[in-house]
């Protein structure tokens, strides 16, 4: 009985990550196959009866080896759980240049879509017509280069402000690996024993547009879904920073209060003005 208990206890240890489950599954199948062959060998009289089991025992390890090599090469980050690492920060990796470029391009396209949609519904004319001259000029920005420059500047200054105000050292352009899929963030930082995942959103509006609201909700729920795959390791917090071209961001803050989002982790949404950030860091208007 003790041997069975020991086996169950050892087997349960392998269920803590995908790699252990795969190893347990392979061991059980191969063990049962060998057991069946050894017990029934005397009863399998003809080669036709023996060959299927013999070929299975020969080919099964080869197939498993090929599958394992494929997983290690292309999906190695999904084979472990955070508990397999002495330092859980090893789950945090820097985004490569190609990934970073793609992320920026996707942000630019989303911002352009937001601008075009709100122009089509005449929201820009009605909600933002009483703005000062330089912000009205900014509202006309539609080309990729200008949007990209503003987004990158907004992201950089917003992270600088968050880092200074919270006294947190941030690792820029990072991703969380080892879950269902890698989650990319503009920055990840540890402060007050809380791991902060920070995502910066840029908008030219002085209100919460429909597209921006959907992006915020999708980001929060997507983060929640992926975190549940591995469980919460330590205290975590998702921080979404909205950077607006407008000096007055009170309408965005008011619109955010109407959001009804229930998730199992802590999150917050900050709203910054790009003009205020420029003044804080001594960047003159073009």
Contact 204, 138 (CB under 8 A): yes
Using left for φ > 0, alpha for ψ between -120 and 50, and beta otherwise, residue 11 falls in alpha
Q: At 176, which helix (H) or strand (E)?
A: strand 169-176
Helix (H, G, I), strand (E, B), or coil: what is residue 85?
coil
Helix (H, G, I), strand (E, B), or coil: what is residue 61?
helix
Count CB neighbours of 152 within 10 A.
15
Q: Name the residue with higher pLDDT: 55 or 270.
A: 270
Instruction: State the Cα–Cα distance between residues 28 and 191, nearest whole angstrom.
Output: 45
Instruction: State the Cα–Cα distance between residues 141 and 136, nearest whole angstrom.
Output: 10
C-alpha distances in Å from residue 273, one per residue of 42, 127, 185, 256, 270: 82, 17, 21, 15, 10
Helix, strand, coil distribution of the chain in percent, nearest 5: 60, 15, 25
Helix and strand numbers (H, E) in the chain are 10, 6
- Is 90 exceeded by the pLDDT of residue 89? no
Contact 30, 61 (CB under 8 A): yes
Q: Which two tokens stand for residue 208?
A: 């919460």
Q: Name the residue with higher pLDDT: 27 or 77.
A: 27
Instruction: State the Cα–Cα distance between residues 198 and 185, nearest whole angstrom.
Output: 6
Using left for φ > 0, alpha for ψ between -120 and 50, and beta otherwise, residue 127 falls in alpha
Helix (H, G, I), strand (E, B), or coil: what is residue 54?
helix
Q: In the structure, what pLDDT confidence band is assigned to residue 88 with cuts at 50, 70 and 90?
A: low
Q: Which of 99-103, 236-240, 256-260 has the highest mean pLDDT?
A: 236-240
Phi, psi of 160 (to 5 degrees): -60, -45
Helix (H, G, I), strand (E, B), or coil: what is residue 247?
coil
pLDDT digits (tens, 9 = 90+) for 250-284: 999 999 988 888 887 889 999 999 999 999 998 87
pTM greater than the 0.75 cutoff: no
Contact 140, 134 (CB under 8 A): no
- Is 80 exceeded by the pLDDT of residue 229? no
């Amino acid at each position: 009985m003790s041997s069975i208990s020991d086996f169950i206890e050892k087997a349960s240890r392998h269920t803590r990550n995908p790699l252990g489950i795969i190893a347990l599954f392979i061991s059980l199948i191969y063990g049962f196959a060998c057991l069946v062959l050894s017990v029934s060998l005397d009863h399998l009289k003809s080669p036709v009866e023996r060959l299927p089991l013999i070929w299975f025992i020969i080919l099964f390890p080869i197939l498993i080896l090929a599958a394992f090599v494929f997983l290690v090469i292309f999906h190695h980050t999904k084979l472990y759980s955070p508990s397999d690492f002495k330092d859980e920060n090893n789950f945090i990796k820097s985004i490569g240049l190609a990934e970073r470029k793609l992320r920026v391009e996707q942000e630019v396209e989303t911002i352009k879509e937001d601008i075009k949609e709100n122009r089509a519904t005449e929201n820009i004319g009605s909600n933002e017509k009483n703005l000062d001259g330089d912000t009205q000029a900014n509202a006309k920005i539609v080309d990729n280069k200008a949007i990209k420059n503003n987004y990158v500047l907004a992201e950089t200054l917003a992270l600088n402000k968050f880092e200074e105000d919270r006294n947190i050292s941030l690792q820029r352009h990072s991703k969380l690996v080892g879950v269902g899929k890698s989650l990319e963030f503009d920055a990840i930082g540890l402060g007050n024993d809380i791991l902060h995942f920070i995502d910066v959103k840029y908008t030219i509006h002085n209100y919460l547009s429909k597209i921006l609201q959907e992006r915020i909700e999708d980001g929060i729920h997507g983060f929640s879904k992926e975190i549940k795959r591995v469980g919460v390791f330590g205290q975590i917090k998702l921080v979404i920073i909205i950077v607006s071209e407008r000096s007055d961001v009170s309408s965005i803050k008011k619109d955010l209060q109407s959001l009804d989002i229930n998730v199992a982790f802590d999150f917050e949404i900050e709203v910054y003005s790009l003009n205020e950030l420029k003044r804080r860091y001594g960047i003159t208007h073009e």
